[in-house]
Amino acid sequence: MGIVCNLCLGIGLVTTLLLVRLYVVLTTTWAAKLRGRRRASDNCSLAVFLGSGGHTSEALGFLSALDFSRYFPRTYFIGEGDSLSMRKALELEAFKAADVQKDTRAIPPTKTPYTFIVIPRARRVHQPLFTTPVTSAVSLAAAVWHLTIAPLVCGGPSAEVLLLNGPGTCFVLCIATYLNRMLGLSSPKLIYVESFARVRRLSLSGKLLRPLVDRFIVQWPDLARGGDTGAYRGWL
């Protein structure tokens, strides 16, 4: 009986500590939303998840407006088997590299400016719902490896900003980021841009991630009504 009581007490203590830590992380995230912007001259390492199809087109459209001589190194997270997104990203990198060479004022990075990381999809199109927990767990394990374990083991740099815009795997990457925050490790700021296709209602990913990300942006004014759904920035 005493062993059971001690076990319950230990579980209760650990649970309490985890809840306190989660509260601290969440309040820190909400406070970060109120802080000022970075200086325009600061460099920023950037990661983005390319969710295939229209999501990839939108995400690359966001990146095309950025100054690649400032936002580097860049990390592209791509779902397993999505060779088209990788090809589109390479085309954008080649186009931007040509622009940098033409601009005599731009200082090219001395290290490799971009990398690709392939992770299993959390859920495939038309995948049965009862198998989703298994594939999501595999996807989460891969995300934890690349965002949490690999930077510690290999000593590689971690992104300062992670840009997300729709597919379910975004939620997996968000959970991995929060694991870093729970452990006090370096973690990227999370920016979620709701898909242009979402005019009146948020996507499931948007509903799940809205209270968790550091910046939540919508592209239609109807989604921003009420003031708590997200920041309306027009068509991006």
pLDDT tens string 87-134:
999 999 999 988 766 665 555 555 678 999 999 998 887 888 888 889
Residues constituting the chain: 236
208-235 confidence digits (pLDDT tens): 899 899 999 998 888 877 555 678 777 7
pLDDT band at 84 (very low <50, low <70, confident <90, very high): very high
CA distance 81 to 107: 34
pLDDT band at 40 (very low <50, low <70, confident <90, very high): low
- Could you tell me if 150 and 66 are in contact, meaning their C-beta atoms sit under 8 angstroms apart? no
User: Which pTM was predicted?
Assistant: 0.80
CA distance 230 to 131: 32
3-state secondary structure of 80: coil
3-state secondary structure of 161: strand
**Better pLDDT: 109 or 188:** 188
**Which residues of the chain form beta strands (DSSP E)?**
46-50, 74-79, 114-119, 161-164, 189-193, 215-218, 231-232
What are the two backbone dihedrals, phi and then psi, of residue 108, each rounded to the nearest 5 degrees?
A: -65, 145
Is residue 135 over pLDDT 50? yes
Percent of the chain at pLDDT exceeding 90: 42
**Token output for 128:** 């049965």
For 51-87, letters b (16+ CB in 10 Å) and e give bbeebbebbbeebeeeebbbbbbbbbbbbeebeebee
* Of 180, 136, 141, the residue nearest 160 (C-alpha): 180
Residue 30: predicted pLDDT: 46
pLDDT band at 163 (very low <50, low <70, confident <90, very high): very high
Residue 5: predicted pLDDT: 61
Residue 227: predicted pLDDT: 58
Please, is 140 exposed, middle or buried when counting C-beta atoms within 10 Å of its C-beta (0-12, 13-18, 19+)? buried
Residue 17: predicted pLDDT: 46
